[in-house]
Amino acid sequence: MHYLLFYDTAEDYLNRRGEFRNEHLKLAWEACDNGEMILAGAFANPVDGALLLFKGDSPEVVEKFVKADPYVKNGLIKKWYIREWTTVVGEAATSQIRPGK
């Protein structure tokens, strides 16, 4: 199953993220390298949030990431939430549906 993690950033996010960015990226790359995170990045124009795509059997993998994320622990993220995402089209879709098959 795929899970989307939405982050809403604090007003001072851009000013403060440098202090925590290496630790945050290290955590993200570890999650990517072990197959839990697929893609992640901040929104642009304006930079007011981020979206992180995970794959796992339950949302626990996402919750574990959030609890360890220095952006969350240090108040750079003012709100976060997880949505289960039923993917049906594409090679990486977890529930592929092809017409006529």
Write down the domain spans for the chain: 2-85
pLDDT tens digits for 78-88? Answer: 999 999 999 99
Q: What is the pTM of this model?
A: 0.93
Residue 100 has pLDDT above 90, yes or no: no
**pLDDT at res. 90:** 94
Residue 101 has pLDDT above 90, yes or no: no
Q: Which CATH superfamily is domain 2-85 in?
A: Dimeric alpha+beta barrel (3.30.70.1060)
- Report the distance separating Cα 16 and Cα 92, nearest Å: 35
How high is the mean pLDDT of the chain? 96
Contacts of 93 (CB under 8 A, 6+ apart): 87
**pLDDT at res. 52:** 98
